[in-house]
């Protein structure tokens, strides 16, 4: 438990200080976020935010990594190859996001050169990460909800790689879509990482039920990201003085997806990242209806759906807080289901 606390505190402090340093540096360099204009069907009501320092997600990733490393100084917590592979995956996706952010700033346009190819490139990176994970670790290859044997459908290695790659890739995109209002993505991600911290630590305390690979290291990994998101939120909360950018959104999405894979909570991820699912789902619904109607009709006024509520007249802070509440309810329900399943399993064990 001490290692978990160390990782959370260190990462939060470093993110708090690092975000401020990046904010000041990027402001001097003129590294500001471009906003899509009316010609690109963008949120023109956010045009006053044009030029706000961006790429602050780099502070989250670096702070989380250092917090995770520092926690291993304490005896009893060895570095696990599983967590190291997860870090490679997170850093690859974050690097991809950084390159896209850099090109957006350089071109002064909110669509980088990777705009149409980014999905294919990120999916390829995720596939490589998941292939490495299944070949180099003892990660469970079953379809899971709250544990490896529920429902416990055994998947062939190739199918497992495809399934988990789609999970992680979809999560990175969903978090990226959610990152459209001040603090929305960072706040909802904090809830998700706290949930995975509880799940991983619970599995660490009950190894006979969950059979996770290095669950304590997973808990430290998760709390490091929760702490780093919390420190970043100090500066990212409305009105934001720095944005996380794709470097943060893709990195956080990869971390959440990878935690679902390694804690054997594949299907529970849909609820843990419930807000992200809704945001990405709103985009899918909008595109489907728009194309099916011959590009004449839309379901939402604008997607992702947080912009829809803004256009209905909700103040930005109202949208953010209400969406945080939705995220918190989803995460609480997910943790509740996890604990309920544990209670049921414990009762069965006692009855034997």
The position carrying tokens 């490393």 is: 69
Tell me the average pLDDT across 301-328. Answer: 94
154: three-class secondary structure by DSSP: strand
pLDDT band at 29 (very low <50, low <70, confident <90, very high): confident
Full DSSP string of 312-352: TT--HHHHHHHHHHHHHHHHHHHHHHHHHHHHHHHHHHHH-
- pLDDT tens string 67-86: 999 999 988 888 999 999 99
The position carrying tokens 């044009």 is: 50
- Which pTM value belongs to this model? 0.94
pLDDT at 296: 85
Tell whether the model's pLDDT for residue 317 goes beyond 80: yes
Chain centroid, CA 246 distance in Å: 11
Q: What are phi and psi of 152, to 5 degrees?
A: 75, 25
Q: What are phi and psi of 153, to 5 degrees?
A: -75, 120
User: 235, 246, 310: which is closest to 33 by C-alpha?
Assistant: 246
Q: Report whether the peptide linkage leading into residue 304 is cis, meaning its omega lies within 30 degrees of zero.
A: yes
pLDDT at 207: 93
Q: How many CB atoms lie within 10 A of CB 345?
A: 18
146: three-class secondary structure by DSSP: strand
């Amino acid at each position: 438990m001490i290692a978990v606390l160390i990782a959370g505190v260190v990462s939060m402090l470093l993110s708090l200080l690092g975000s401020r340093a990046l904010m000041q540096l990027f402001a001097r360099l003129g590294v500001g976020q471009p906003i899509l204009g009316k010609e690109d069907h963008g949120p023109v009501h956010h045009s006053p935010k044009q030029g706000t320092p961006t790429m602050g997600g780099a502070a989250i990733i670096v702070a989380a990594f250092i917090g995770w490393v520092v926690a291993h100084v304490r005896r009893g917590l060895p570095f696990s190859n599983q967590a190291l592979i997860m870090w490679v995956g997170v850093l690859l996706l974050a690097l991809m996001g950084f390159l896209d952010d850099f090109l957006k700033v350089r071109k002064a346009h909110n669509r980088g050169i990777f705009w149409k190819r980014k999905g294919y490139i990120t999916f390829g990176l995720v596939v490589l990460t998941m292939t490495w994970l299944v070949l180099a670790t003892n990660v469970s290859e079953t379809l899971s909800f709250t544990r490896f044997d529920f429902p416990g459908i055994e998947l062939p290695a190739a199918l497992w790689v495809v399934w988990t790659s789609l999970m992680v890739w979809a999560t990175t995109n969903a978090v990226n879509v959610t990152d459209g209002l001040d603090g929305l993505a960072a706040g909802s991600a904090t809830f998700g990482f706290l949930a995975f911290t509880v799940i991983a630590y619970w599995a660490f305390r009950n190894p006979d039920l969950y059979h996770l690979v290095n669950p304590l290291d997973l808990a430290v990994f998760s709390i490091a990201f929760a702490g780093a998101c919390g420190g970043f939120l100090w500066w990212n909360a409305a009105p934001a003085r720095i944005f996380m950018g794709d470097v943060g959104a893709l990195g956080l999405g990869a971390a959440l997806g990878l935690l679902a894979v390694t804690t054997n909570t594949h299907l529970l991820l849909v609820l843990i990242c419930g807000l992200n699912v809704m945001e990405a789902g709103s985009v899918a619904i909008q595109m489907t209806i728009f194309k099916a109607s011959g590009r004449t009709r839309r379901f939402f006024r604008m997607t992702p759906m947080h912009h829809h509520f803004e256009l209905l007249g909700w103040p930005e802070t109202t949208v953010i807080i209400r969406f945080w509440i939705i995220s918190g309810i989803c995460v609480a329900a997910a943790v509740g289901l996890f604990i309920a399943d544990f209670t049921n399993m414990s009762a069965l064990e006692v009855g034997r």
